[in-house]
Structure 1
Amino acid sequence: MIVIMFRVLIIAAIILLVYSIIQYFRNPQRQLENAKGTKEFYLLDEQDNSKKNLHFVYKGCQFEGEKYVGTTEDSFQIVDIHVTVHDPLELQGLTRDDIYFLEKELFLRYPHAKVTWKHPINKLLLNN
């Protein structure tokens, strides 16, 4: 009887271990940090939840966008996104074309939104 219980406990431990490994690799925050390390684009967002901010990484720079709901012609939509950067020193090497790429990606997900870039990113867009 003890041998059977021990086998059941070992199987339960293996199932728990496999579940934990799967959850680790599916963790969105880990994927965001991984994209930051590899300097690629990754967007972490819950489009159905307007109260959660969106986070995205591009070329090793992490951004956060606050979503604001407003009215369009026929429904309530996200109409304003205010984007800030976590660490302004990470902006080194980003060009105006990179900012336009990020805007395009945001417009694909939120076509009615107006993107507002906060300091110091807005200085790059104002300088010609």
Structure 2
Amino acid sequence: MIWLLRFVLLFIIFFLLYLAVKFLFTSNRKLETARKQKRFLLIDNDDVRKNFMLTYKGSVFAGEKYMGSKDNTFDVVSILIWPEDSATLKGMVKDDFFYIDNKILEHYPNAEINWKSPVKEFLQQ
């Protein structure tokens, strides 16, 4: 009986350690830390059907990837990006958005990047 109790206690300790490590290395936590530090971070899955998140200068952006055929291969051909909160765009200039475009094009060189409002109107000025 004592052995069973020790085994259960050991199992609970390992489970709590697993949860703590999993919490420390989650992508949302990394994204929030990068946002607070106002640095660039792109969190993306290899799965084309899932959106990606990125942060730059304290703003968080989300993006959708669209698959298509280009140069006789299937690849990401279109990306749509929008800010999660338009109020955080204060102080950003066009070069900041071009920097974000270039960083995304490093991952998806065949993609055409489109921005949603209000960034779209800002870039067209």
Scaled by the length of structure 1, the TM-score of the pair is: 0.91
Using the alignment, how far apart are the partners of 2:88 and 2:99 within structure 1? 17
Query: Are residues 1:90 and 2:78 paired?
Result: no
Q: Which residue of 2 aligns with 1:43?
A: 42
Using the alignment, how far apart are the partners of 2:26 and 2:74 within structure 1? 30
2:49 is paired with a residue of what secondary structure? coil
Identity %: 30
Using the alignment, how far apart are the partners of 2:4 and 2:48 within structure 1? 48
Q: Deviation per CA, 1:11-64: give whole Å up to 9, x if none.
A: 1111111110111012112211222222211111112x1111111111111111
2:9 is paired with a residue of what secondary structure? helix
Using the alignment, how far apart are the partners of 2:42 and 2:78 within structure 1? 17
Q: Which runs of 5+ in 2 are unaligned?
A: none
> 1:124: Cα distance to partner?
2.3
CA root-mean-square deviation: 1.2
Using the alignment, how far apart are the partners of 1:82 and 1:8 within structure 2? 51
Query: Are residues 1:56 and 2:73 paired?
Result: no
Aligned length: 125
1:20 is paired with a residue of what secondary structure? helix
Q: Which runs of 5+ in 1 are unaligned?
A: none
Scaled by the length of structure 2, the TM-score of the pair is: 0.93
Q: Which residue of 1 aligns with 2:14?
A: 15
